[in-house]
Amino acid sequence: MDLQSNLQPELGKLEQIVSQFLLKSLHIILDSRVPSLRSHDRSGDLSLGSQVRKSDKWFNLVLGDRPASLDNLNFWHRNVMDPMIIDVILVHQGSNSPSVAVGGSVETVIERWVVQYEYPRVVAAQTGESSANYKKTYKKSIILLRALYSQMRLLPAYRIFRQLSTSSRTYNFDIIYKVSSFSDPFSRAEEGMMEEHSFPAVEAYPGRLCISVTYRTTLSDFNLEPSTSMPPKIITDYVGSPNTDPLRSFPSSEKGVSATSFPLRGVQAPAPVPLQRPHSWTSGFHRAAFSAQNQPFVGSPPAYYPSPMPYDYPSPPAYYPSSMPYDYPTPPTDIRGNRVQHYRVPTHQKAISYDDYQLSPPFSPSPSPSSPSYISNAYPMQTRVRSETAPVSIPLPMQSRSFRYLSPNSSDPNRSSLPPLSPRSRKTDPSSQESPSGITYFRKIESLRSGEMQPVTANHYTGQKVTRDSKDDSGRFSGLLSSSGSPRIGFSRSSSRLSFQDELDDIDFSYPFDVDDVDTSDFHASQNLDGKKASEFTSQSSPIGRKSQDAAVGELVRMLRTAPPLRQDPSCYSSHSMKTELEGGVATASGFFMPRKTGDALEELRSYREMKDLLLSKSGRVISKEEA
């Protein structure tokens, strides 16, 4: 400002007041509108005894720590003359809004705040005393900011902000913001729905501080509601169910990111994912997680999944007038995979509940060292299983994997409460009657299982289950995959084992493909291997899709056969059993969906027996874990 030199100190103070005023008003506005910025815990901030930062004492209004993103806006200091336009944007799904539609979701500006230091072109001569002008300005701006603070709570947008920020549910909308020094004017239609309110300006000689807002008077025409999340329940027709999209493609290992439609049973039609804006990410990863489950394709922004810290992400404020404020990085594929998985979690009965999942990723009550990776492992495994490895009756890999999944309960805190096997034993009994020839074997297994040989029997059971599964439509993994969230590898067989399946559903079964946090690196290695193999599968879960996936199955089989031994005697479970299965089954949908004949069953029995022996020998370590 070019004024007389005797006013310099005053001007300096005034400029400081103005710039702080801008910052403070921005802080107030964002704090009351953008949930993501409030994610830091403020409960402790407002105690009288706590220390108040000097910067927070401005205008005698303590708001708590300023989000890191706001600090990036100190560029406002450079030119306090520019208006600061803050758009509060509602990201929602909607077709009736004329706003820009991105990725299925619509952004609508519901409030536009303009904070500005108006500097007149012609500076009126200062009348009266000038010395304490800035003091008066300061006092009045305090009042103005208080009024702003109160007003924020009286406007319609505050309600939805509260919904987002306080509720633990997830919603199908989000609030983000954009700060710039200019803005596109509203369209006629939009203007018609908005009202304007201006606060009386505060004299700040030679200019004045103004705040005004243009806001939507009603938000009822938006369809804002909690996103329907799948309640934890058993999904009997899990991956590979005939009802699922047979042409669904599972993310392959190469890309890791692809549109995948998972069976969304009981889930509402996919809701558009909230825009993955850097600053909207921090609004709570769980929210995105839930939205993910509603989407057929994995587009959710789980990038912050690994770390729930709100400010870990690229700083949001899009104060570049020309750039879109919502450039978001591509979500990490594996995380997305996890995300995709996430919605499936509840499909496993007693699976890790949503709440558990919602907890920060580091959450893992499991004592096992691999617990932090448990989540990331388990779910990817699930992904793989569901999406790729669906029905795979591979004694060899199963055997190798079964160890991995042997101790699901012990390591999985969520499953630890569930009896490992006995319930299953019991439950499988009646159902076993339904299966044809293999049932006798199954019963035998069960009798074994009912004893202490739980881990072993688990394996056998899983093996058996694999067989059983195969009989069922491949999609029947939900039951098999226990609440531990073990990936279910369904061995689809022609004969359906529905009732059996259902009973298994209730059992917390250490499925062979339980991707629990088995502590051994071997398990992980085998997991990874399986995952890799799995990733090469296309959807095999659906019997309908079987026929279309022979090639994939064959590929899998080949891969498994040629896979390096996974810590186990390679001699055991030679692929011959698989071969035999394949021979008969390749003609049909997948090698594993072959009609069961006695011969097949016997061969399977043999292979399982071998597996059992192997597992028994190795189960010592696992058992101990499981018992834990």
Partner 1 sequence: MNCEVCQLKDLEVEHFEIREVLRCILHTIVFHRALGLVRPKDIDLELFDVTYVQCGDVELEKKIDEKIEHFISWVEKHPNKKSQICLSFYEVKNKQPYWFTNKIERLYWEQWYINLNVAQHPKAHSSKSHNSKVVVDPGEEERIARRTAVEASLREVLFQIIKFVNEKKDHVPPIPNSDGVVYFPHEITIPSSSDSAFGMDMIKRMLQTGHPTMLS
Binder among 61, 68, 102, 498 for partner 1 (CB under 8 A): 61
Q: Which residue has the tokens 């190795």?
A: 618
Smallest separation (angstroms) from partner 1 to the CB of 139? 6
Whose Cβ is closer to partner 1: residue 46's or residue 123's? 46
Contact between 324 and partner 1 by CB under 8 A: the answer reads no
By CB under 8 A, the count of residues binding partner 1 is 28
Considering only 154, 188, 564, 571, the residue that binds partner 1 (CB under 8 A) is 154
Binding test (CB under 8 A) with partner 1, winner from 117, 134, 149, 513: 149
Structure tokens at 110: 């519901």
Least Å distance, CB 61 to partner 1, is 6
64 Cβ contact partners less than 8 Å away, ≥ 6 residues apart: 31, 42, 45, 46, 56
3-state DSSP call for residue 98? coil
User: Residues 96, 127, 150, 571: which binds partner 1 (CB under 8 A)?
Assistant: 150
Closest CA to 509 of 568, 448, 447, 464: 464
Helix axes 550-562, 575-585, angle to 10 degrees: 170
Residue 144 near partner 1 by CB under 8 A: yes
Determine which residue in the list 13, 40, 77, 146 makes contact with partner 1, applying CB under 8 A: 146
> Tokens 């909690």 map to which residue?
226
Tokens, residue 418: 């569930």
| By CB under 8 A, residue 266 contacts partner 1 | no
| Cβ 199 to partner 1 shortest distance, Å | 6
Cα three-residue angle 204-206-211, rounded to 5 degrees: 45
Does 353 participate in binding partner 1 (rule CB under 8 A)?
A: no
Stretch that binds partner 1, among 151-159, 468-476, 551-559, 611-619 (CB under 8 A): 151-159
Structure tokens at 458: 């688990």
Q: Does 597 bind partner 1 (CB under 8 A)?
A: no
Q: Of 8, 41, 55, 57, which lies in the binding site for partner 1, with binding defined by CB under 8 A?
A: 57
Output DSSP code: residue 99: S
Is the CB of 151 or the CB of 258 nearer to partner 1?
A: 151
Taking residues 78 to 117 in sequence order and writing x for each that binds partner 1 by CB under 8 A, - otherwise, the string is ----------------------------------------
Q: Which residue has the tokens 């802080």?
A: 27
Is 162 near partner 1 (CB under 8 A)?
A: yes
Spatial distance between the Cα atoms of 15 and 205, rounded to a whole number of angstroms: 10
User: Is residue 418 within 8 Å of residue 516, measured between CB atoms?
Assistant: no
Q: Is residue 60 a contact point for partner 1 (CB under 8 A)?
A: yes
Asked whether position 275 contacts partner 1 by CB under 8 A, the answer is: no
Question: Considering the complex, what minimum distance in angstroms separates the CB of residue 224 from partner 1?
Answer: 15
Determine how many CB atoms are found less than 10 A away from the CB of residue 414: 25
Does residue 48 interact with partner 1 by CB under 8 A? yes
CB under 8 A: which stretch of 177-185, 195-203, 301-309, 351-359 binds partner 1? 195-203
Shortest CB 220 distance to partner 1, Å:
13
Among 3, 102, 142, 616, binds partner 1 (CB under 8 A): 142
Cα 12 to Cα 415: distance, rounded to the nearest angstrom: 65
Contact 493, 472 (CB under 8 A): yes
The verdict on 52 binding partner 1 (CB under 8 A) reads: yes
Contact 582, 391 (CB under 8 A): no
When the beta carbons of 186 and 199 are compared against partner 1, the nearer one is 199
* Closest distance to partner 1 from the beta carbon of 211 (Å): 10
55: contact with partner 1 by CB under 8 A: no
Find the binding residues for partner 1 in span 202-221 (CB under 8 A). Answer: 202
Measure the CA–CA gap between 108 and 91, rounded to whole angstroms. Answer: 7
Of the candidates 434, 320, 435, 337, the one whose C-alpha atom is nearest the C-alpha of residue 380 is: 337
DSSP code at position 228: P
Question: What CA–CA distance (Å, rounded) separates 282 from 36?
Answer: 5
53 binds partner 1 (CB under 8 A): no
Q: Which of 80, 75, 79 is nearest to 116 (CA)?
A: 80
Q: Which of 131, 135, 217, 369 binds partner 1 (CB under 8 A)?
A: 135
**Residue burial 333-372, b: 16+ Cβ < 10 Å; e: rest:** bbbbbbbbbbbbbbbbbbbbbbebbbbebebbebebebbb
Both structure tokens of 618: 């190795």
Among positions 382-441, residues that touch partner 1 (CB under 8 A) are none
Residue whose structure tokens are 């003091």: 135
Question: Is-contact 315 282, C-beta < 8 A?
Answer: no
Nearer to partner 1, 162 or 597 (CB): 162
Which is closer to partner 1, CB of 142 or CB of 525?
Answer: 142
Q: Does 158 bind partner 1 (CB under 8 A)?
A: yes
- Residues forming contacts to partner 1 in the complex (CB under 8 A) are 45-46, 48, 52, 57, 60-63, 135, 139-140, 142-144, 146-147, 149-151, 153-154, 158-159, 162, 199-200, 202
